[in-house]
Structure 1
């Protein structure tokens, strides 16, 4: 039986709101764990992981953005029925977050599948779509290969024995980004934009195009010092911004605290 493709951080019991982090290109374990650890104690996080790598190496790797999202949607619906989800995705993860929102909103009550399995939905609500460091769906992707390889080399540990496995993962994810096609369906979820002020791959003014993909409220743009990898350094500030967005919901039980 395949392992679950997510890691839970914090306590889900009694929490009406949950932050769901969607992985960027090249990810194995979640780079957002340090952000999740800085969220309010009453606001748990779920970190989705891409099958076919790391502890999920024996699972079938997704061939597309939609393939990855289908698995996560089914597992999240089973784990978090009736919860308010706040989906945060950086770079490729932003496309994951958007398509996951489309899927949940299209199946709000959970349709029955053959064999008794339920489709995503089950009353689970996407309460906010938090897009980070990404241009809008359907945009022509810029070449991120040189940048991403440089970032991987900077973070590579001296004890790493995976050879070129990191490069292979990255190329597979960039292919998913390049081949991604979307119906461009506007979602109802409120939208917030996160970006590095010096990001040359998804410039703040370009990210405003995401507003065309939601009919819900625009919660604002949150900018941070740094470039495309701003999320690796501005963790406390990012967690504070997420906490404030969650607290805007009239029924939130998340306290705005460290």
Structure 2
């Protein structure tokens, strides 16, 4: 059963009411461009016995479709932090972001000082997502989604559904396209960088540049697959996170 958590329904909990004694960590997951909190249901299922797993639902999609999407990534990160703060307690907080969500998680970590930060499927912030720089129209967005093979093909060819999802997609792609890294304090927590070994979004040099954005204990893990490798390797990623939390 899905439960909304926190103000303005930014957060979703998909599994089990947490017992702080058995789930001593709050794990907050942030989805990719065009993605929704539900993307993390499988990861939540794997980790719900060891962590209180929360997924962020950005405005402008699914049950928040009537709210305007945020097309500035720095502003989106600030709004995520503002929504998180009342929902957090004394337990350590861990952030996990995929693709655009990795940038949001990184910027949120600069404000929140979490216990750990996981960034997935994303070049270093100082590099930006170069492959999205020239995607400025709807056709370009749809072509890009098809190429990444992470969105149901039927969804992308249904005019009625596209009318609902395109506003959020436009805002997300604009947020990534216009994102500019700003110099300042970096997250002081351990940083783990996860990628798919055939992901066109994450060339090796752009991934290794994450070394600029951590201050200690920076690790890199590559999994077989493309941009949405996480779909096929949820259990392996969950095992990695569970070992860290333990």
**Matched residue, 1:70:** 78
Contact 1:86 1:128 survives alignment (8 Å)? yes
**Judging changes above 3 Å, is the alpha-carbon distance between structure 1 residues 240 and 78 closer, same or farther for their aligned structure 2 residues?**
same
Give ranges in structure 2 of 5+ residues lacking alignment: 1-6, 133-140
In the alignment, the residues of structure 1 paired with residue 159 and residue 85 of structure 2 have an alpha-carbon distance, to the nearest angstrom, of 35
Question: After superposition, where does 1:154-193 map in structure 2 within 5 Å?
Answer: 154=153, 156=155, 161-185=160-184, 186-193=186-193
The count of residues paired between Structure 1 and Structure 2 equals 226
Q: Deviations over 1:153-175 (max 9, x none)?
A: 43639988423433442232111
Say which SS state the counterpart of residue 75 (structure 1) adopts.
helix
The reply to whether residue 80 of structure 1 matches residue 88 of structure 2 is yes
- Three-state SS of the structure 1 residue aligned to 2:240 is helix
Paired with 2:181 and 2:90, the residues of 1 have a C-alpha distance of 27
Moved more, 164-173 or 188-197: 164-173
Structure 1 147/55 Cα, relative in aligned 2: closer, same or farther at 3 Å?
same
Unmatched segments (≥5 aa) in structure 1:
106-125, 248-258
Mapping of 1:165-244 within 5 angstroms?
165-185=164-184, 186-218=186-218, 220-244=219-243
Q: Residues 127-162 of structure 1: CA distance to partner in whole angstroms, max 9, x if unpaired?
A: 111010100113142334433244334363998842
Q: Distance in 2 between matches of 1:38 and 1:160?
A: 35
Partner SS state of residue 156, structure 1: helix
SS across alignment from 2:47: coil
- Aligned residues: CA RMSD: 2.4
Q: TM-score with structure 1 length normalisation?
A: 0.79
Contact in 1 for aligned 2:196/2:224 (Cα 8 Å):
yes
Deviations 1:63-115 (A, max 9, x none): 3112222222122111112221111111101100001001113xxxxxxxxxx
- Do the aligned residues in 1 keep the contact of 2:24 with 2:52 (CA within 8 Å)? no
8 Å CA contact 1:197–1:204 kept in 2: the answer is no
